[in-house]
Structure 1
Amino acid sequence: MHLRKRTLAILMVLALLAGGVSAYGLISYKMGGLPIAGFSAGSGLSGQNSANFAKLEQAYQLIHSQYYQNVNDQKLVDGAIAGMVQALGDPYSTYMDKQTADQFQMSLSSSFEGIGATVQSINGRITVESPVKGSPAEKAGLQAGDQIRKVNGQVLDGKPVNEAVLLIRGKKGTTAELEITRPGTNDPIHVTVIRDEIPLETVYAENLGDGIGKIQITSFSENTAKRFAEELQKLEAQGMKGLIIDVRGNPGGYLQAVTEIGNLLIPNQGVILQMEDRTGKKEIFKSKMGSAKYPIVCVTDGGSASASEILAAALKEAGGYPLVGEKTFGKGTVQTSQTFADGSDLKYTIAKWLTPKGNWIHMKGIEPDYPVALPDYFKLTALNPDTPLKRDMNGTGVKNVQQMLIGLGLVPGREDGYFSQQTEDAVKTFQRINGLSVTGVVEGQTAVKLNEQIRAKMKTNDTQIEKAISVLHSMIK
């Protein structure tokens, strides 16, 4: 097969959306002096390489001619390429057959259908990198680090991430019954997600008052830099004195998007990032911005990865701006893409990126200047209204109820997952306060109302944003 070569810089946490394959991390970008390793049609092979390819061809011919059943030649070739990529032991290098690659291209549109979560394979388990803001996955309580073990009864452990994505995605209105494992919990958690159309808006701006502006970037996609510039201009026109950049749960994205945003934030022509290829040759990306206009605070968490880490590191090291929240994910490599003539696609790592000061944060992450955790109820999954929870029951669902009640100021007496008399009394109190039938059972409208009030509480009690505001006020003064 002949390769259609593309010169692409990709920064992603193998962000394969569980509603289609993510467009995160793909944009045309000239790599300057960085060589792109790749196959070349008609290139000669010699020595050991020639012997290795002869061995590969021999294996192909043996299976093709002597295997006891007829085999699909295309499947053999796809499997050989996928096997080579898997042998790299690199979760950020992947081979997509034509079907999966087509879905990847579909996800470049303004919306797609699915549950709305970026995932990758870690140690053979499909792991959530981040739910998309406002998506069914976010509303159901999925979090970065959750391992999706089953979907509608089908086991995902050990499956290639592309295959797992095909099982998780689906049409709007269909149901995905997920069994997940969450770090720090022993029992599996069952989550029901109704698939929906997922708009790919990535920039959310807000005037918090008192001269403070906030811009949340959920990923660095094709239009992110343009949308960021528009929203930043609006906040500046309103007299903004300080800015909060929120990249929590941002799995990464286009290199060009993050460098363009860096041009608007990193003062004094500071370094945004460095890229280093296999030979040690570096390419340095610098900001075009002059002096700083106002102080900035960046908020991060364990779901902030790749391109979002580039921005966080640039703000911290080149801008001298503080980070608030939690340590970032730690993904410091760059991928490129080669598309075959049949539409299949090969992505592989070609370089590592370094912070302005030359640090490689891969597998380490970036520590915040002000470590701040979120309240426990931010980590809860949504309750299923169709699954009753009542006296003497035990499990993760009951534990969620107890932690929700605590978050709402009620006293369930315990939070270990056993539905005690005091837990029932707290549920009855909640039902009376909200004009619901006082049954002591969590189901139907009681579950819906608990979900709604916890989501509202999360919006008004974000301890990380509160700390960022406090730090920013001190910087403005």
Structure 2
Amino acid sequence: MKDSLEKRVIKTVAIVLVTAIVTGFALVKIGFLGFVPPAEYKKYAKYKALEASIKKEFYKKPDEKKLEDATYKGLFSGLDDVYSAYYTADEMKQLLEVSTGKYVGIGFVVGADKGTGAIKVESVMDNSPAKASGVKKGDLVIAVNGKKYSYMEMDIAVKNLRGPENTSVKISFLRDGQKLEKTITRKEIKIVSIESKMLENKIGYINIKGFEEDTSKDFRKALDKLEAQGMKALIIDVRDDGGGLLTVVEDICDRILGKAVIVYTQDRQGHKEYMKSSDKEKIDKPIVVLTNGNSASASEILTGAILDNKAGISIGETTYGKGLVQGMLKLRDGSGYKITTAQYFTPNGSYIDKKGIKPTIEIKDKNQQLSKAVEYLNGKIEK
């Protein structure tokens, strides 16, 4: 599936580049000269006229690189899709750093608070500068270094939250209607994506905090250790996990599901692609997945795969509801983009975007969710 997705993304890039290389009425495309239809020419003529006006009339000399980047960013903002965006070379570099599980920043995870239009702190990492500065889950990020951002500009805000180690960033938060100003010093953050332990009655517990490059390897290590200790059942906790790499979900499902459909995608043309796990490994033990409203994307794919394949149940709250697939491509100059290419569906055909996955057993009190999972699994083990 990954290969064909990359082909679709590459095709999109070709179209973007071709339609961008315009001189007068002519279009130069891979060695031959064609002509731009009048309607297309009017579009580019208007752009060139506006650009010329800016360069001539603006009260100071504009930064041409910023104008160029803003053009590309504007193209993607016209999709009205929070998940699609253009990134400069610097932004792309920092975006790719996160997937490795290590970056320089202040240590909190953000999401979109569509009710207020703000960027919301979804979780704060332990032993991070943000934690030490008193940042709390639920705080709204309203400005970074004096510049205001909405959730539609979340990627750019995150880019500005990061920076060189031992430098500082000033952040304006809103908490319970009160504005808070904090200056936080950045440091290297190592994302610990897996935590595990053995609970009572040989019930294994694995908390997946993010689906990063090393997560599947760490998941396998944790599971092997629990099985060596005589694990009888398993709890997988994806609460407050905003997702990550789809290949990591695939590898985890290889380890726990056996041969099964994990997820399938459908593009605008109706073409479907299926991701399946292998039958080499499987956990033949009861499983509970813990979810909440911040369990999104890869977390929902894993949850849906476990539920629809009847490998376990879920306990907690309805998940976030992100049923869209993004492709990402880095261009030759270091810049790149992310674009929504398809919708995804759980193995049984459920489309969860903006709806989420309802838990098998709903428990709204976070403090009772784990104990309910233990209670349920104890009943299964005794049988």
Q: TM-score interval w.r.t. the shorter chain?
A: 0.7 to 0.9
TM-score by length of 1: 0.68
Q: Distance in 2 between matches of 1:81 and 1:235?
A: 49
Matches within 5 A, 1:47-58: 47=37, 48-58=39-49
- Structure 1: state its 5+ residue gaps: 1-8, 10-28, 376-461
Per the alignment, residue 39 of structure 1 pairs with 13
Q: 3-state DSSP class of the match of 2:239? A: coil
**Alpha-carbon spacing, 1:232–1:136, altered in 2? closer, same or farther (3 Å):** same
Q: Do the aligned residues in 1 keep the contact of 2:104 with 2:164 (CA within 8 Å)? A: yes
From 376, 379, 383, the equivalent of 1:474 is: 379
From 248, 253, 276, the equivalent of 2:266 is: 276
From 231, 234, 239, the equivalent of 1:248 is: 239
From 142, 148, 161, the equivalent of 1:168 is: 161
CA RMSD of aligned residues (A): 2.9
Matches within 5 A, 1:123-138: 123=114, 124-132=117-125, 134-137=127-130
Matches within 5 A, 1:170-185: 170=163, 178-181=171-174, 185=176
**Alpha-carbon spacing, 1:464–1:77, altered in 2? closer, same or farther (3 Å):** same
Q: 3-state DSSP class of the match of 1:286? A: strand
Q: 1:226 deviation in Å?
A: 1.5
Q: 3-state DSSP class of the match of 2:4? A: coil
Q: 3-state DSSP class of the match of 1:210? A: helix
TM-score by length of 2: 0.83
Deviations 1:33-92 (A, max 9, x none): 973351325546754445433433343344345545322222211111111111111111
AA at the equivalent of 1:119: V
Q: Distance in 2 between matches of 1:45 and 1:464?
A: 63
Q: Do the aligned residues in 1 keep the contact of 2:100 with 2:213 (CA within 8 Å)? A: no
Q: Distance in 1 between matches of 2:112 and 2:373?
A: 32
Per the alignment, residue 368 of structure 2 pairs with 463
Larger RCO (CA under 8 A, 6+ residues apart): 1
AA at the equivalent of 2:136: L
| Structure with the greater alpha carbon radius of gyration | 1
**Alpha-carbon spacing, 1:300–1:189, altered in 2? closer, same or farther (3 Å):** farther
**Alpha-carbon spacing, 1:213–1:138, altered in 2? closer, same or farther (3 Å):** farther
2:276 equivalent to 1:286: yes
Q: 1:335 deviation in Å?
A: 1.0
* Bigger mean CA deviation after superposition, 320-329 or 106-115: 106-115
AA at the equivalent of 1:285: M
Deviations 1:332-384 (A, max 9, x none): 11111232332122111111111111111111111112222346xxxxxxxxx
Q: Distance in 2 between matches of 1:287 and 1:368?
A: 23
Q: Which has the higher strand share?
A: 2
> Runs ≥4 in structure 1, deviation > 6 angstroms?
none
From 346, 351, 354, the equivalent of 1:360 is: 351
AA at the equivalent of 1:465: L
**Alpha-carbon spacing, 1:159–1:292, altered in 2? closer, same or farther (3 Å):** closer
Q: Do the aligned residues in 1 keep the contact of 2:344 with 2:351 (CA within 8 Å)? A: yes
Q: Distance in 2 between matches of 1:75 and 1:313?
A: 42
Deviations 1:373-414 (A, max 9, x none): 346xxxxxxxxxxxxxxxxxxxxxxxxxxxxxxxxxxxxxxx
Matches within 5 A, 1:242-391: 242-267=233-258, 269-289=259-279, 292-374=283-365
Per the alignment, residue 200 of structure 1 pairs with 191
Q: 3-state DSSP class of the match of 2:327? A: strand
% same residue: 34
- Structure 2: state its 5+ residue gaps: 19-28
Q: 3-state DSSP class of the match of 1:252? A: coil
